[in-house]
Amino acid sequence: MAAGLARLIVCERRGHWAVALRRELPVAGQRVYETRSVAECWEMLAGWPASFLLVELTRSGADVLLERMAWLERDFPAARAAVVAERSLSGCEWWMREAGAIHFTVSPRELGPLARLAVRHLDAAPRAPLTLTERIWADLPWGKAE
């Protein structure tokens, strides 16, 4: 099958949110791509412009994230972003939502709804066109190539 134009990208410093998200994903083996900075995350997004982002809000990076989020819809209209943060930053939820976040949470135990949003987005994301060989295999009555 053709490669998608979307990835599930997690941008955080330590990897805790990615671990919690993997536990909630309904598809076993769903690939999660991890980045450690907002700049690295947006660089990956440029290669997969219909991706679903899970971005960690931090005190030191709030201004950079807010600026990037504000331009997300213009620069990557097919991408969606959710924001996670430590509890002390829960008051920033509406700033992030106003900037374009479709989900905000401060609890790694409440990632079930976010995981469902991510999977639904990735399932609906556009796919790269099939090659001639892939189209032929897809049309054969006995299924996919090994």
DSSP 67-126: HHHHHHHHH-TT-EEEEEE-GGGGGGHHHHHHHT-SEEES-GGG-HHHHHHHHHHHHHS-
Residue-range domains of the chain with CATH: 8-139 (3.40.50.2300)
Per-residue pLDDT, 127: 78
Residue 130 pLDDT > 90? no
How much is the pLDDT for 68? Answer: 96
Q: Which residue is it, tokens 């997690």? A: 10
Q: Report the DSSP pairing between strands 33-35 and 8-11.
A: parallel
Per-residue pLDDT of 75-126, as tens digits, reads 999 999 999 999 999 999 999 999 999 999 999 999 999 999 999 999 998 7
pTM of the model: 0.84
